Structure 1
Amino acid sequence: MVTTGEGAHEAAPPRAAHQTASAGDCAIVARGLTKRFRGGQVAVDDLHLAVPRGSVFGFLGPNGSGKTTTIRMLLGLVQPTSGGCDVLGRPMPAGLAATLPKIGALVEGPAFYPYLSGEANLRRYDAADPAADPRTVSARVGAALERVGLGAAARKRYRAYSLGMRQRLAIAGALLGPRELLVLDEPTNGLDPQGTREVRSLIKDVAADGTTVFVSSHLLTEVEHMCTHVGVMRSGRLVTQGPIAGLRAGHAPRVRVDTPHVAQAAAVLRRLGLAEVRATAEPGEAERVTALLGEHAPERVCALLVTDGVAVRGFTVERPSLEEVFVSLTGEGFDVDA
């Protein structure tokens, strides 16, 4: 069953530099998905997407990049202008009736009655689902609350819930029945660090049970902590997608040498053929040299520095962060903390 903050409903193989999963192995496949609004605004432009089954897929991009519109099209809440998509092996929106009972979704934040308890809210939510069995509602509501860690707060009024508890209750509503796919739009938006950790841990637990989790976020750090795969959106277009490890592997790591012999170390690295050698020896700053490691073995680089008489205080291989990968792909960044 799908939860949205507004409650509004409208009724080629995937392309990617790091695409590895075939359509049959995917929980979500989009082919040329496009949405144009009145006035010519293009919210999503020719999207080719593949979300492997069993993955935690981070759908990453700045606010306004087309993430929520894409989710609405995937769930049949918005009709695409062109293109199509399959969710859990069925075309959407034609397969809505058969597919939606297998999907739990939270789109644009939770919406519950403030004066009802968490348990009472879930009962009302469950009653709106035509596929739900009213004979098992007590067991299912109780199990969902326990799963998200709200069993002890089941009788507490929703208005007294913290933001983290509210997000967990919304996820509990998405998990009232067995789900093959969980779709979460900005699940940590507005949460404090503790609430963020709670939701992150819950997502990992749900994924460990075999559910595919599709997480939309504008927070790079959250995607790095939670996700196995990522798709990067910018201005309505998909920039890249694939396993996070694979995206990083396509970007060379840097080596950092902490040493008082900055000029000598830089000369050694240049002689070895390392690129982008940068030395820092300004007053009040750490004395170090950095360079792209490329295909060089780090242990060999360190050994040659020592052999040439460079006093090595520290030697670090720094893998590119997801932020650095994003900037290299798009030429721009966005707020990674808020």
Structure 2
Amino acid sequence: MPSDSGAAIHTRGLTKEFGHRRVVDGIDLTVPTGAVYGFLGPNGSGKTTTIRMLLALARPTRGDITVLGTPVPRKAAQVLGRVGALVEGPAFHPQLSGRANLARLDAADARSDPRTSRARIDAALHRVGLSQARDKRYRVYSLGMKQRLGIAAGLLVPRDLLVLDEPTNGLDPQGTREVRHLIASLAAEGITVLVSSHLLSEIEQVCTHLGVMREGRLVAQGPLDELRARGRTTHRVVTADPERAVEVLVGLGATDVHRDGETVTARADGLVPETVVAALVGGGVGVREFGVRTASLEDVFIGLTGEGFDVSG
């Protein structure tokens, strides 16, 4: 399958079935090179299964995958060395230090150079802000430190793509901020990042592109600003002349216009508030109050998935 131009990850019709249960249903995922792609969806929507297929940890029932221009799983061995991943939480020896744990992982990698191991380990620890804790035992690490060590393990050699499955799962607000800032710094270095999460507030702060899963299907994807623009904008006017306000709003192209006493509300997607107010005043409407409510990204995604997102962050 030819890869989508400029895509670090591209799938076509990607499907995974377990017996008669379809957990990923024909998705066409496109992660642009250089993007921070937020892979969103309620728990159980198929995100982790999709990630496992991208990393050749699970074989698709049907469909095609390219990662960094290489077909997976057929030629996974050729490309996965350029991919760092943290899937379903880090696992390290509790009695070993952070540095010693990374040394064990590096020694097990046939592609790594033992002559540069110490320097690369120290560089990875510095990159994730663990230089001062490198000799502490893993068992005394905070949850945020453990997550950052897991990311460091994926950065022991240069990577073009980093895949993080629920990297802030179980973290307190401080740990969540640490991981968020780390993702932003990695993206600034030119690494493409795919981050799966159900924490909408965190995804919204760090990502440039989003994909939304629902019951195994990819119901929306694209640049963050484009998905935000799908939200509806409601204008609210309080006036002593609501009948005339309704006429002006309808004339401007507003829809779903409703009157409740002296209050008029209308859906006015694409209409600039200044233009609306000027038209009302120019039409002889005495405006006592005027307000605008734009649907949040959460509102957009609830509309797409039919379910809420954890926005506590």
- TM-score, structure 2 normalization: 0.91
1:303 aligns with 2:261: no
RMSD: 2.3
1:168/1:263 CA distance change after superposition, 3 Å? farther
C-alpha change, 1:263 and 1:142, in structure 2 (3 Å) is farther
What is aligned with 1:65? 45
- In 2, Cα distance between the equivalents of 1:144 and 1:288? 59
Aligned residue number for residue 147 of structure 2: 167
Find the counterpart in structure 2 of residue 27 from structure 1. Answer: 8
> Which sections of structure 2, spanning at least 5 residues, go unmatched?
none
Offset from partner CA, 1:173-204 (integer Å, 9 cap, x none): 11111100000000111111111111011001
Deviations 1:121-171 (A, max 9, x none): 111111121111111111111111111111111111111111111111111
Question: CA shift at 1:296, angstroms?
Answer: 2.7
* Letter of the 2:235 counterpart: V
Q: 1:226 to 1:266 in 2, by over 3 A?
A: farther
Shift of 1:279: 6.7
Task: Please give the residue correspondences for 1:43-62 in structure 2 after superposition, counting only pairs within 5 Å.
Answer: 43-62=23-42
Give the corresponding residue for 2:249: 272
Relative to structure 2, which stretch is displaced further, 61-70 or 267-276? 267-276
2:301 maps to a residue whose letter is: F
The answer (yes or no) to whether the contact 1:248–1:319 under 8 Å persists in 2 is: no
Between 1:327-336 and 1:115-124, the stretch displaced more is: 327-336
Q: Secondary structure at the match of 1:311?
A: strand
Query: Aligned ranges for residues 223-262 of structure 1 at < 5 Å?
Result: 223-256=203-236, 261=238
Percent of aligned positions that are identical: 59
SS in 2 for 1:97: helix
Counterpart pick for 2:199 among 219, 222, 237: 219
Number of positions where the alignment pairs a residue of Structure 1 with one of Structure 2: 308
Establish whether residue 327 from structure 1 lines up as the match of residue 302 from structure 2: yes
Could you tell me how far 1:108 is from its partner in structure 2?
0.2
Contact 1:302–1:315 (Cα < 8 Å) also in 2: no
- Say if 1:265 and 1:310, in contact at 8 Å, map to a contact too: no
Question: Is there any run of 5+ residues in structure 1 with no aligned partner, and where?
Answer: 1-11, 14-21, 282-286
In the TM superposition, what whole-angstrom CA distance separates every residue of 1:219-267 from its partner, at most 9, and x where no partner exists? 111111111111110111111111111122233333355xxx4564685
Alpha-carbon separation, structure 2, partners of 1:115 and 1:280: 67
Residue in structure 1 matched with residue 57 of structure 2 by the alignment: 77
Higher deviation after alignment, 205-214 or 296-305: 296-305
Moved more, 302-311 or 96-105: 302-311
